[in-house]
Amino acid sequence: MATVITIVSFVLVLGVLVFFHEFGHYWVARRNGIVVHEFGMGYPPRLVKLFTYNGTDFTLNLIPFGGFARMKGEDASDLSPGSFNAASRAARAATLVAGPAMNAILAVFLFAFSFMVGFPSPIATPQVNTVVAGSPAEQLGLQAGDILLRANDQPVLVSVLPFEGQETWSEQLTGELPAATSLTIIRDGALQETPLNNVALEQLIATLDYSPLDTRIMATAADSPAAQVGLQSGDIVYRVNDTIVTPQNSLRDLIQENLGQEVTLTVLRGTEWKTVQVTPRADPPEGQGALGVDLTFQTRLANLPFFSALREGVSAMVEYITVVLQVPFMLIQGTMAPADAQLQGPVGIARLVGDAATVTIDTGLFYPILSLSAILSVALAVTNLLPLPALDGGRLFFILIETLRGRRINPEREGFVHMVGFMLLLGLLVYITVQDIRAVPESIPWRAILGQ
């Protein structure tokens, strides 16, 4: 069953990404008078011709991995009217850019939909920064530095990344904020009970100037310093030696300042204060920190309205483009090892898509498959714009040379370069695929990300 889900989801996701990519080429080519003979989903041999529209055959082909928009004159020797090579430089460039541009636009909407249907927003315990005059916080007598711990018997957890327009918390994982009558806070190292006096907790949080406090231990590694002194999941680290942990004096920074030296941690466990002495490791095992604790924020599903989600979609698209563009430079500079780049071929990508689809089916949450599809769409856009022969970016590079020279390179020579480049890229694809098959499957911890 898992194999079927992987194959079907991979074909569907890849089909959507490739369709929009090739549709971008097709649409702009037609707008510029370039004849498109065939718009094919999958690679030949042809299974069926679906229909013909304005002289273009729309076909379904046997090999389901990819697609194409076959334009007149793509063999680089046809310069007759209506061919790709007979078009102006601007028309050819626009046609080539259109495919990656469509993938970038698609990524924006996929990211936006993932923010609309429910995304994992990090949550943490809030610490008051300042108390605004006339605010609910002032009415309750809160002070700067207070840590809001519990409302009645439930922890107070707020968004680490308060998105503009974020309106409701999803009830799928943790429910709504509690209807509370009292608030438990930490002030100067002591627990205090404060009545809410008819102030709604939602109103207090919405108007509060706070910083998220990332000192709640989520897990401890076996045989780590934290495990050896009995630190547990749920413990809140309040003080390191005599320094109170704050967003400005984070637990990570305070521990880094004391590597190899014994420190005293003041920890709140439930309603009890505990003190432990522990020595942070200067050279911890890979994947563990100096203490061996996981301080990853908890998450809660949140939803954004359309326009806020669209803004965040644009931001996420730009962020991932930046990340993808940085990888080649980091490899060249030696700041990233080739193994860390985690290049994925069809097999590796299929596994990732299958995992995301499985979690989506099991949980009913569309965030995994939508966000992964958006990331793959960004990767497809950026990869195709690389200045390598046979790719859109390689063809754009020849147009740039043509612009600088004032005359075009012999079309047959350009076609030969693209053919050689295609063979080299095909060889690289085969190599990466073999590595994918041999390697331990990579996976994204979707359930942990979703807080499950």
- Burial per residue of 305-322, b for 16 or more beta-carbon CB atoms within 10 angstroms, e otherwise: eeebbbbbbbebbeebbe
Q: For residue 275, what are the contacts with CB-CB under 8 A and spacing of at least 6?
A: 264, 265, 266, 267
Token representation of residue 279 = 């020595």
Give 440's pLDDT tier (boundaries 50, 70, 90). low
Give 165's pLDDT tier (boundaries 50, 70, 90). very low
Q: How far apart, in whole angstroms, are the C-alpha atoms of residue 350 and residue 361?
A: 16
120-212 is classed CATH 2.30.42: yes
Q: Please indicate whether residue 19 or residue 77 has the higher confidence score (pLDDT).
A: 19
Mean predicted confidence (pLDDT) in 14-43? 93
Phi–psi pair at 167, nearest 5 degrees: -110, -45
Q: How far apart, in whole angstroms, are the C-alpha atoms of residue 301 and residue 54?
A: 46
DSSP string of 267-295, one letter each residue = EEETTEEEEEEE---SSPPTT--SS-EE-
CA 436 to mean position of chain CA atoms:
22
Q: Is 158 exposed, middle or buried (0-12, 13-18, 19+ CB in 10 A)?
A: buried
Strands 209-213 and 272-278: unpaired
What is the reported pLDDT for 373? 95
- Total Cβ atoms within 10 A of residue 118: 23
Which of 155, 133, 261, 262 lies closest to 213, judged by CA?
A: 155
Q: How far apart, in whole angstroms, are the C-alpha atoms of residue 216 and residue 296?
A: 9
Q: Please indicate whether residue 408 or residue 62 has the higher confidence score (pLDDT).
A: 62
Mean pLDDT computed over every residue of the chain:
84
Q: How far apart, in whole angstroms, are the C-alpha atoms of residue 150 and residue 434?
A: 53
What is the reported pLDDT for 342? 63
Amino acid at 243: T
Percent of the chain with pLDDT over 70: 90
User: For the chain, where do the domains classified as CATH 2.30.42.10 start and end?
Assistant: 219-286
What is the reported pLDDT for 168? 39
What is the reported pLDDT for 167? 41
Residue 263 pLDDT more than 50? yes
Q: Which residue has the tokens 């979707």?
A: 446
Residue 450 pLDDT more than 90? no
Give 172's pLDDT tier (boundaries 50, 70, 90). very low
Amino acid at 315: S
Q: What is the pLDDT of residues 111-161, one digit of tens each?
A: 999 999 988 888 888 888 888 888 888 888 899 888 888 888 788 887 776
Q: What is the pLDDT of residues 297-335, one digit of tens each?
A: 777 788 888 888 899 999 999 999 988 888 777 766 666
What is the reported pLDDT for 341? 59
Q: How far apart, in whole angstroms, are the C-alpha atoms of residue 201 and residue 156?
A: 9
Q: What is the pLDDT of residues 386-411, one digit of tens each?
A: 888 888 998 899 899 888 888 877 77
Dmax (CA) for the chain in angstroms is: 84
Q: What is the pLDDT of residues 181-210, one digit of tens each?
A: 888 888 888 888 888 888 888 788 878 888
Residue 214 pLDDT more than 80? no
What is the reported pLDDT for 166? 44
What is the reported pLDDT for 340? 61
Q: How far apart, in whole angstroms, are the C-alpha atoms of residue 90 and residue 87?
A: 8
Residue 352 pLDDT more than 60? yes
Identity of the highest mean pLDDT range in 98-102, 143-147, 177-181, 227-231: 98-102
Class of domain 219-286: mainly beta
What is the reported pLDDT for 448? 76
Mean predicted confidence (pLDDT) in 20-26? 95
β-pair partners for 91: none
Mean predicted confidence (pLDDT) in 210-235? 85
Amino acid at 436: D
Give 25's pLDDT tier (boundaries 50, 70, 90). very high
What is the reported pLDDT for 31? 94
Q: How far is CA 100 from CA 38, 94, 391, 393, 452, in A?
A: 19, 11, 11, 10, 35
Q: Which helix (H) or strand (E) holds 90?
A: helix 89-117
Q: How far apart, in whole angstroms, are the C-alpha atoms of residue 430 and residue 410?
A: 31
Give 40's pLDDT tier (boundaries 50, 70, 90). very high
What is the reported pLDDT for 111? 96
Mean predicted confidence (pLDDT) in 7-25? 92
Give 169's pLDDT tier (boundaries 50, 70, 90). very low
Q: Are 126 and 147 in contact (CB under 8 A)?
A: yes
Which of 140, 209, 130 lies closest to 181, judged by CA?
A: 140
Across 71-75, 95-99, 277-281, least confident range: 71-75
Q: What is the pLDDT of residues 290-306, one digit of tens each?
A: 888 887 777 778 888 88
What is the reported pLDDT for 301? 81
Q: Please indicate whether residue 113 or residue 451 has the higher confidence score (pLDDT).
A: 113
What is the reported pLDDT for 264? 92
